[in-house]
């Protein structure tokens, strides 16, 4: 008697011939974006800056301070940092306790472990009480080739269902640096995705006066043929794809929407309602329950019905491998976006 | 020389040599990628040699043979070490060594059941193995199958609540067919385990949870073998745990002496240097 759910699935795997093999980048620390400057550890440095004037800020991590850039804060304020060990449940429960005593905790781990392991503790100890705990998580969506154990492909869907939770999916170093004080000022709980290490600076190149605003989507690029509504690093990819498409005469607007919840319905409705453009959402997340479905619901329930398409990860456990290979394979690379949009227009 | 003494001896290769072969294969895989959890692999090689060439029963050509002892790799990031022993045991073809960690390889960086023959579970989200081992041990008992379930976990996993739920469950359900192996290398991602969230004293904790518990030097092969023998010889139905104190990078002194971290960096030219150093200590 053995189970056969995946028994011998390994026998169906083909091994790539030698000449075509690509070294994996499963262990990468930083997300690459060609042609952009980078900033080191924008989250860690912004938190240190904020902590200078905010005595209530404390930091906690579950054995991933170094891997979420929180070590910068830990080094600057060792007595305001709690190393909780690899124990994500008590990480968030203790953050709830600190918030009850008047502190503003920033708790970090990987997105998979906050959304999967610690979820019940976040739901009841933090969200139900509407406590100001800021959960900031590295490795969002498909940002490691390490396989499903580290690929947080459904974190936004999980947290979207949670009342009181504000959800942020920042694009770049600019968003991350600017969001830190805003999240601290916000009265309730926040779940934010994080890019760590050397993080590309993108938004100010296209919009020099860009300023992160919680709950607001902002038009980064104008275009008359296609409106892309994007979040997270998919905004960078969309901006690069828009450049490429413009050379083929396709004019693409990019509406960057870093706040997944509450959604900036007014801006999305206004932009989507503006004349005959194909509307395409793009997210580093499963197409189930993320930005795409949130936008679709908003449009449909308000009677705005442009031609609508979604770019996102499939409803599957994803492969392990080199990140560029995987981004191409699942259609969230610049090439992937260009290919899909060309197929739709 | 400690001889192989499985139920069905398959060779006269010494355990020391098995451990050495495991270290060598792990270094060769690390060289393929220029990276890998090599510190952990070198540290746990002796325990894996004793598991696969002293304690466990299995059929290399039939990794899903119903009578096999189950070996769960809870710590998915130690996959490089398990691939090395699976190759050494003839479960995984040695030709695949040079595909380690590449696209379309059956040996991804983190261990997953659907990729690799002999990889029982998908680990990597840490704190899963012991709970699954509890269920498999229950299942084997229900089937009157005498196989053991081995779960290899890390000191970091002692921080997870799920570990202690499983530990309490294993003794309550009298799972004498469960043997838990803990690699106590005093290392985690952010630093030394005992300085971050100390699980000490580990042996009294497991004993208080109703387990037969031992602690030995995990790089002393004779002590490791004796601990496996003692764990299997317990006559009552307590689950058994062996805590192994190990040294990361064991067997390659210049790496051992390095400022050890969770992910030991090895420069491009150091892989061959490490292999040469290892070669000097090659056992018979
Ligand atoms: C539930 C969970 N939390 C966090 C991580 C991220 N992580 C990967 S390895 C690791 C260190 C865990 O300690 P241990 O296994 O003892 O590390 P090692 O001895 O290999 O350095 C952490 C925190 C994880 N894989 N799973
Ligand atoms: Mg360890």
Q: What are the residue boundaries of the structural domains of chain B, listed by start?
A: 15-280
Q: How far apart are the first and last CA of chain B?
A: 9
Looking at chain A, the domain(s) classified CATH 3.40.50.920 span 203-344
CATH number of A203-344: 3.40.50.920
Pairing of β A57-61 and β A81-83: parallel
Please give the Cα distance from B169 to A215 (Å, whole number): 46
Q: How far apart are the first and last CA of chain A?
A: 53
Both tokens assigned to B15: 């355990």
Ligand that lies nearest to the alpha carbon of residue A115, given by its number in the listed order? 1
- Is the confidence at residue A5, as pLDDT, over 70? no
Measure CB to CB from residue B189 to each of A64, A117, A322 and give the nearest one.
A64
pLDDT of residue A275: 81
pLDDT of residue A128: 98
Question: Distance, CA B188 to ligand 2 centroid (Å)?
Answer: 5
Question: Distance, CA B32 to ligand 2 centroid (Å)?
Answer: 24
Please give the Cα distance from A295 to A289 (Å, whole number): 10
Counting atoms of ligand 1 from 1, which one is nearest the CA of B261? 21
What are the helix and strand counts (H, E) for chain A? 13, 14
pLDDT of residue B104: 85
- Is the confidence at residue A18, as pLDDT, over 70? no
Would the CB atoms of B99 and A15 count as touching at under 8 Å? yes
> Shortest Cα distance from A109 to chain B (angstroms)?
11
Please give the Cα distance from B151 to B249 (Å, whole number): 22
Share of chain A above pLDDT 70, in %: 94
**DSSP code of residue B4:** P
Please give the Cα distance from B207 to B194 (Å, whole number): 19
Nearest by Cα to A152 from A113, A201, A187: A113
Model pLDDT for residues A216-237, shown as the tens digit of each residue: 999 999 999 999 999 999 999 9
Distances (CA, A) of B135 to B96, B141, B208: 32, 10, 21
The residue whose two tokens read 């792990």 is: B26
Ligand that lies nearest to the alpha carbon of residue A108, given by its number in the listed order? 1
Ligand that lies nearest to the alpha carbon of residue B249, given by its number in the listed order? 1
CA B109 to chain centre: 15
Model pLDDT for residues A319-344, shown as the tens digit of each residue: 999 999 999 999 999 999 999 999 99
Question: Distance, CA B14 to ligand 2 centroid (Å)?
Answer: 28
Question: Which residue ranges have their beta carbon within 6 Å of ligand 1?
Answer: A 63-64, 86, 113, 117; B 40, 75, 77, 124-127, 154-156, 185, 187-189, 262
The B178-184 sheet, strands edge to edge: B70-73, B149-154, B178-184, B240-245, B212-217
Contact B92, A36 (CB under 8 A): no
Please give the Cα distance from A153 to A146 (Å, whole number): 13
The residue whose two tokens read 């699976």 is: B86
CATH topology of domain B15-280: Rossmann fold (3.40.50)
pLDDT of residue A27: 58
Measure CB to CB from residue B115 to each of A13, A18, A325 and give the nearest one.
A13
- Please state, rounded to an integer, the average pLDDT across all residues of chain A: 95
Q: Which residues of A touch B99 (CB under 8 A)?
A: 15-16, 21
User: How many Å is the Cα radius of gyration of chain B?
Assistant: 18
- Is the confidence at residue A6, as pLDDT, over 60? no
Distances (CA, A) of B117 to A11, A302, B145: 8, 53, 21
Residues measured by CB to lie within 5 Å of ligand 2, the ion: B 154-156, 185, 187
> Shortest Cα distance from A288 to chain B (angstroms)?
22
| Alpha-carbon dihedral sign for residues A217, A218, A221, A226 | positive
Residue A23 vs residue A86, higher pLDDT? A86
Which ranges of chain B have pLDDT less than 50?
5, 8
Distances (CA, A) of B252 to B45, B264, B281: 12, 12, 9
pLDDT average, residue stretch A200-220: 98
Q: Which residues of B touch A9 (CB under 8 A)?
A: 113-115
Both tokens assigned to A15: 């091994």
SS3 percent helix, strand, coil of chain B, rounded to 5, is: 45, 10, 45
pLDDT of residue A14: 75
- Is the confidence at residue A29, as pLDDT, over 80? no
Distances (CA, A) of A56 to A79, A101, A154, B276: 12, 10, 31, 54
- For A3: left if phi > 0, alpha if psi spans -120 to 50, otherwise beta; the answer is beta
Interface check for B90 against chain A (CB to CB < 8 A): the answer is no
Model pLDDT for residues A44-64, shown as the tens digit of each residue: 999 999 999 999 999 999 999
Architecture of domain A39-200: 3-Layer(aba) Sandwich (3.40)
Looking at chain A, the domain(s) classified CATH 3.40.50.970 span 39-200
Counting atoms of ligand 1 from 1, which one is nearest the CA of B75? 15
Chain B window 91-110: which residues touch A at a Cβ cutoff of 8 Å? 96, 98-99, 101-106, 108-110
| Alpha-carbon dihedral sign for residues A87, A93, A97, A102 | positive
**Of all helices (H) and strands (E), which one includes residue A283?**
strand A278-286
> Shortest Cα distance from B21 to chain A (angstroms)?
24
Nearest by Cα to A180 from A49, A79, A29, A68: A49
The complex scores an ipTM of 0.95
- Indicate the SS3 state at residue A140: coil
């Amino acid at each position: 008697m053995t189970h056969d759910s995946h028994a011998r699935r390994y026998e169906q795997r083909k091994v790539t011939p030698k000449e075509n093999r690509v070294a994996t980048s499963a262990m990468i620390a930083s997300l690459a974006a060609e042609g952009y400057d980078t900033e080191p550890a924008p989250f860690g440095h912004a938190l240190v800056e904020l902590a200078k004037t905010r005595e209530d800020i404390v930091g906690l991590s579950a054995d991933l301070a170094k891997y979420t850039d929180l070590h910068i804060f830990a080094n600057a304020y060792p007595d305001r940092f709690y190393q909780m060990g690899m124990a994500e449940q008590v990480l968030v429960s203790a953050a709830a306790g600190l918030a009850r005593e008047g502190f503003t905790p920033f708790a970090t781990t990987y997105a998979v472990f906050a959304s999967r392991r610690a979820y019940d503790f976040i739901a009841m100890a933090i969200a139900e009480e509407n406590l100001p705990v800021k959960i900031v998580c590295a490795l969002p969506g498909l940002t490691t080739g390490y396989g499903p154990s580290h690929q947080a492909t459904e974190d936004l869907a999980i947290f979207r269902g949670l009342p009181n939770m504000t959800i942020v999916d920042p694009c770049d170093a600019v968003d991350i640096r600017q969001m830190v004080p805003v999240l601290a000022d916000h009265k309730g709980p926040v779940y934010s995705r994080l890019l760590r290490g050397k993080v590309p600076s993108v938004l100010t190149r296209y919009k020099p006066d860009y300023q992160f605003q919680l709950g607001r989507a902002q038009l980064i690029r104008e275009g008359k043929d296609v409106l892309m509504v994007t979040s997270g690093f998919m905004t960078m990819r969309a901006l690069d794809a828009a450049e490429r498409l413009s050379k083929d005469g396709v004019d693409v607007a990019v509406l960057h929407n870093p706040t997944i919840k509450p959604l900036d319905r007014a801006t999305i409705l206004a932009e989507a309602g503006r004349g005959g453009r194909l509307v395409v959402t793009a997210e580093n997340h499963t197409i189930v329950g993320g930005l795409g479905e949130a936008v679709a619901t908003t449009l449909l329930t308000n009677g705005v019905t442009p031609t609508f398409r979604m770019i996102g990860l499939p409803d599957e456990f994803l492969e392990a491998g080199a990140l560029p290979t995987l981004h191409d394979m699942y259609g969230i690379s610049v090439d992937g976006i260009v290919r899909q949009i060309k197929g739709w227009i | 020389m400690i001889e192989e003494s499985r139920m069905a001896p398959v060779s006269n290769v010494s355990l020391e040599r098995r451990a050495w072969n495991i270290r060598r294969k792990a270094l060769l895989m690390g060289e393929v990628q220029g990276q890998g959890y090599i510190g952990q692999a070198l540290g746990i090689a002796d325990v894996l040699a004793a598991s696969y060439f002293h304690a466990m029963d299995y059929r290399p050509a039939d990794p899903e043979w119903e009578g096999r002892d189950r070996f769960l790799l809870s710590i998915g990031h130690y996959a490089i070490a398990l691939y090395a022993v699976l190759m050494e045991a003839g479960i995984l073809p040695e030709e695949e060594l040079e595909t380690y960690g590449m696209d379309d390889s059956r040996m991804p960086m983190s261990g997953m059941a659907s990729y690799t023959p002999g990889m029982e579970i998908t680990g990597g989200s840490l704190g899963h193995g012991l709970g699954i081992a509890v269920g498999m041990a229950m299942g084997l008992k229900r089937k009157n199958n005498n196989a053991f379930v081995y779960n290899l976990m890390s000191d970091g996993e002692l921080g997870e609540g799920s570990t202690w739920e499983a530990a309490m469950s294993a003794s309550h359900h009298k799972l004498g067919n469960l043997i838990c192996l803990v690699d106590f290398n005093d290392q985690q991602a952010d630093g030394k385990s005992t300085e971050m969230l100390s699980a000490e004293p580990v042996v009294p904790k497991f004993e208080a949870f109703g387990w037969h518990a031992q602690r030995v030097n995990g790089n002393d092969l004779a002590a490791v073998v004796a601990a496996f023998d003692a764990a299997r010889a317990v006559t009552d139905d307590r689950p058994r745990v062996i805590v192994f104190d190990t040294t990361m990078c064991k067997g390659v002194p210049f790496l051992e002496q390095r400022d050890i971290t969770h992910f030991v960096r090895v420069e491009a030219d150091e892989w061959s240097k490490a292999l040469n150093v290892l070669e000097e200590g090659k056992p018979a």
